[in-house]
Amino acid sequence: MDVAEARGRIPYEVSESLAARGIMTFTEPQALALGKGLMDGRSIVVASPTASGKTLVAEMACANSIIAKRRKALYIAPMRALVSEKYSEFMAAYPYIKTAMSVGDLDSDDQWLSKYEMIFVSTEKLDSLMRHGVEWLGDVGCIVFDEIHMLGDPSRGPTLELLITKLRSMSGAQVIALSATIGNADEIAKWIDAELVQSNYRPVKLRKGIVYDSKVHYASGKVGKEKWDVEALDARSGVPETQVVEDTLNRKKQLIIFYSSRRNAEAGATRIAPHVRTMLAASEREGLERLSDRVLHVLDSPTQQCTRLSELIKDGVAFHHAGLMNAQRSMIEDACRGNLIKAICSTTTLGLGINMPAHTVLVRDIHRYDGTGSTSIGTNEVMQLFGRAGRPKYDTEGRALLVASSKEGMELLSKRYMKAKPEPVDSGIGIAPVLRTHILAFIAEDFLNTKEAIDAFLAKTFYGFQYRNMTDIKYKVSSILRELLEWEFISQEGNAFFATRLGKRVSELYIDPLSARQMAASLSRERDAIGNLFMLCNTLEMRPYVKAGEEALAGYAMMSRVSGMPLDYDAEMYVAYEPERAYATALMLRDWMDEKKESAIVEKYSTTPGFIYNKLNNAGWLAYSAIEMAKILHVSTHDLVNMNARLKYGIMEELLDLVRLRGIGRARARMLFSNGIETVRDIKENKDKVTRVLGKEVAQMVFDQL
């Protein structure tokens, strides 16, 4: 369908934007959505492969709401990186529309957003905004849920499901839901009361094959009666993994290899690096040297992981996983888009959403450890990873590959992943911690105040739509209400429930009520420094923990009750209770606050820089939450405030006064202190010495603040 045919049906500004970007025809999903009432305000579920044009469907609906209906539009995505990418794309397409993005502070109502027409948020941020009672939601005419198949994700799905249910009950806005190919898109569309647009269209042809015996085998025909189209790999290596690398680079293309663990991804990058190194041009080597140096010095003191990654980048290879620093991941992604890095060995951190140029995707590992043993990854997840191959603007075709060790293995892989139909996604809200958090939020917002109202609302969720029988959920609701009453987060008057001052603040702080209950109990006791840190770590939000070594086991065994010993928790409530590992994580935070180098902490606790900073971020939020709760409980906040500042900067208490100044962090504060400059007053009185220690430019920035 040509864009010209749609003139009169879409706003003139949308037509002009499409023309400016060279978009002259609509893809099949886009044309189908227009035909099913996209511009008339009909809700639409689009289920189609990666790069089929789903985002443009959402974009047109949002622009139509803003331009034609004079109502706001809201775009919700599960990951910050994806929110940022879609925000940038929309800003470039419609620079005259007032567009904002919010993914950060979860204890803010961000009233400034009310001045904007197009708003991009993460799922958790929108949930937080609603807990703070934002008033502009009634002005929204179009709501987009990107990656709606995340309903089946154990961690993100329940919040997404309850958000959709809540927004649909509060607003008559048009809903646009975007999904990869899943087995029950029709069921999701019926739940949302939306038209279903389902398509197999993909602008870049995707060939799915299995690597075996130095060849790629592409299956055709029925399962069990496959005919294999065979393509020899242009490679000298005898290892399938490196054969695919050599063959892809010989095609002058890039690739992503997916592994089941961080360790496997790093080992894979080390294995393929020698094969990539020989195929780099001199100019590429120079650019990679510069990138290598930037990646190495993201931290003041490079860790072994930083050094390992930096060396691999010189060879045109990188590993990518959650253990890296955010800045390192961004550098790698940008270098890949610039065709500087040729191969990325990744966990599934690159499997969702963001646009990366990979002609070939190899899913090397189809099993992963789930905590108890090895399990096969699902069909939908493999399809999602396959979708990273062959991206518009970069390729005319892509390859998605698996590895087999035998002909029998080829047939099994073909049946399991190549020929299988997509799996359905199921609701996950029946988990107690999820219900506990959201039931408190319902009451705190005065959204639902009786058990009957809560039961009726939950019957409207995807869970209620799928299973109909709500007996189990109703029982859990009753149990959770009793817990919240016992913990004094809510009170009861007749049949109605109301949030106490503490309960409302816990909901606003976006922490699990069980974590808040533990923290409140600890706040009522005397605590030493390690007791304060243990209070933060002994929460659901700080999981997973570091492993408990001998120091942690001995320290926890000796920790006195004045240090904040934990309460006895019901195993079902708290799942797997691991106080020794929580204590070990508290020791790791203490080492950071004692100014130990990141490299030393990484080695001591067998962890990664990314893990450390993730825990510091979570601990900072929990420390802030503890301070807010302490105010309500009339407990002194002095030690908590100092702890929060020390966590933020990684400093001993003696440096707290110096870091009040912008530009003075842990390294510069320690340099000043070591030279006799111990307070802000000392800076005022010793400007010459400060200039010698910090350098003229930094010193002047500090003096300007005085």
**Measured distance CA(468)–CA(576) in Å, rounded:** 30
Give, to the nearest 10 degrees, the angle between helix 432-444 and helix 451-458: 120
Assigned domain for 29 exists = yes
**pLDDT, tens only, 140-193:** 999 999 999 989 888 888 999 999 999 988 878 999 999 887 889 999 999 999
Q: Which one of 388, 418, 448 terminates a domain?
A: 418
Can you give the pLDDT at residue 562? 42
Q: What would the two tokens of residue 614 be?
A: 């993730």
Give, to the nearest 10 degrees, the angle between helix 471-486 and helix 432-444: 60
Assigned domain for 426 exists = no
Q: Which one of 650, 671, 687 terminates a domain?
A: 650
**Measured distance CA(523)–CA(242) in Å, rounded:** 56
Same domain, 453 and 557: no
Q: Which one of 198, 228, 262 terminates a domain?
A: 198
**pLDDT, tens only, 609-646:** 989 999 999 999 999 999 999 999 999 999 999 999 99
Q: What would the two tokens of residue 640 be?
A: 């908590």
Can you give the pLDDT at residue 500? 97
Same domain, 90 and 113: yes
Amino acid code (one letter) for 150: M
Three-class DSSP category at 648? helix
Domain count for the chain: 5
Assigned domain for 34 exists = yes
User: Residues 6 or more apart from 597 whose CB is under 8 A from it?
Assistant: 300, 301
Can you give the pLDDT at residue 351? 63
Using CA atoms, how far residue 263 sits from 333, 347, 544, 608, in Å, is 20, 9, 17, 11
Q: What is the pTM of this model?
A: 0.87
Q: Where are the beta strands (DSSP E) in 183-272?
A: 195-198, 205-212, 215-220, 227-232, 255-258
Three-class DSSP category at 411? helix
Same domain, 219 and 323: yes
Three-class DSSP category at 345? strand
Neighbouring-strand partners of residue 7: 10
Can you give the pLDDT at residue 564? 46
Same domain, 547 and 611: yes
Same domain, 34 and 159: yes
Label the pairing between strands 227-232 and 215-220. antiparallel
User: Residues 6 or more apart from 94 whose CB is under 8 A from it?
Assistant: 13, 17, 63, 118
Q: Taking Cα atoms as reference points, which of 158, 175, 155, 157 lies closest to residue 167?
A: 175
| Range 221-248 burial, b when 16+ CB lie within 10 A, else e | eeeeebebeeeebebebeebbbbbbbbb
Q: Are 510 and 107 in contact (CB under 8 A)?
A: yes
Same domain, 471 and 593: no
Phi and psi torsions of 441, nearest 5°? -65, -40
Whichever domain contains 483, its CATH number is 1.10.10.10
DSSP assignment of 415-442, as one string?
Answer: IIIISSPPPPP---TTSHHHHHHHHHHH
Three-class DSSP category at 218? strand
Start-end of H helices in 496-608: 501-509, 513-523, 529-537, 550-558, 571-574, 579-593, 598-604
* Residue labelled with tokens 């775009």: 75
Give, to the nearest 10 degrees, the angle between helix 123-131 and helix 157-170: 50
Q: Taking Cα atoms as reference points, which of 52, 35, 53 lies closest to residue 44?
A: 35
Instruction: Tell me: pLDDT of 215 over 90.
Output: yes
**pLDDT, tens only, 515-556:** 999 999 999 888 889 999 999 999 999 999 998 887 787 777
Same domain, 171 and 25: yes
CA dihedral 262, 155, 174, 144 (to 10 degrees): -20
Using CA atoms, how far residue 552 sits from 143, 555, 581, 620, in Å, is 48, 5, 8, 21
Can you give the pLDDT at residue 653? 95
Same domain, 91 and 36: yes
**Measured distance CA(324)–CA(611) in Å, rounded:** 8
Q: What would the two tokens of residue 22 be?
A: 């060279």
**pLDDT, tens only, 329-368:** 999 999 998 999 999 999 887 766 567 778 999 999 988 8
Assigned domain for 425 exists = no
Same domain, 463 and 561: no
Q: Does residue 676 come out as left (phi exceeding 0), alpha (psi in the -120 to 50 range) or beta?
A: left
Higher pLDDT, 5 or 72: 72
* Residue labelled with tokens 């922490």: 511
Largest CA distance in the chain: 86
273: pLDDT confidence band, cut at 50, 70 and 90? very high
Query: Residue range 52-67: average pLDDT?
Result: 95
Assigned domain for 315 exists = yes
Q: Are 343 and 353 in contact (CB under 8 A)?
A: no
Same domain, 210 and 290: yes
Instruction: Tell me: pLDDT of 224 over 70.
Output: no
* Residue labelled with tokens 């864009």: 3
Phi and psi torsions of 358, nearest 5°? -130, 115
Amino acid code (one letter) for 295: V
**Measured distance CA(481)–CA(491) in Å, rounded:** 10
Same domain, 476 and 393: no
What range does the domain containing 537 cover?
511-650
User: Residues 6 or more apart from 30 whose CB is under 8 A from it?
Assistant: 1, 53, 56, 57, 60
Within 13 Å, how many C-alpha atoms sit on residue 170's CB side?
22
DSSP assignment of 127-161, as one string?
Answer: HHHHHTT-SGGGGEEEEEETTGGGGG-TTTHHHHH
Q: Are 273 and 288 in contact (CB under 8 A)?
A: no
Q: Are 346 and 259 in contact (CB under 8 A)?
A: yes
Assigned domain for 427 exists = no
Instruction: Tell me: pLDDT of 128 over 60.
Output: yes
Cα three-residue angle 243-246-252, rounded to 5 degrees? 145
Q: Where are the beta strands (DSSP E) in 561-620?
A: none
Q: Are 295 and 310 in contact (CB under 8 A)?
A: yes
Same domain, 184 and 258: no
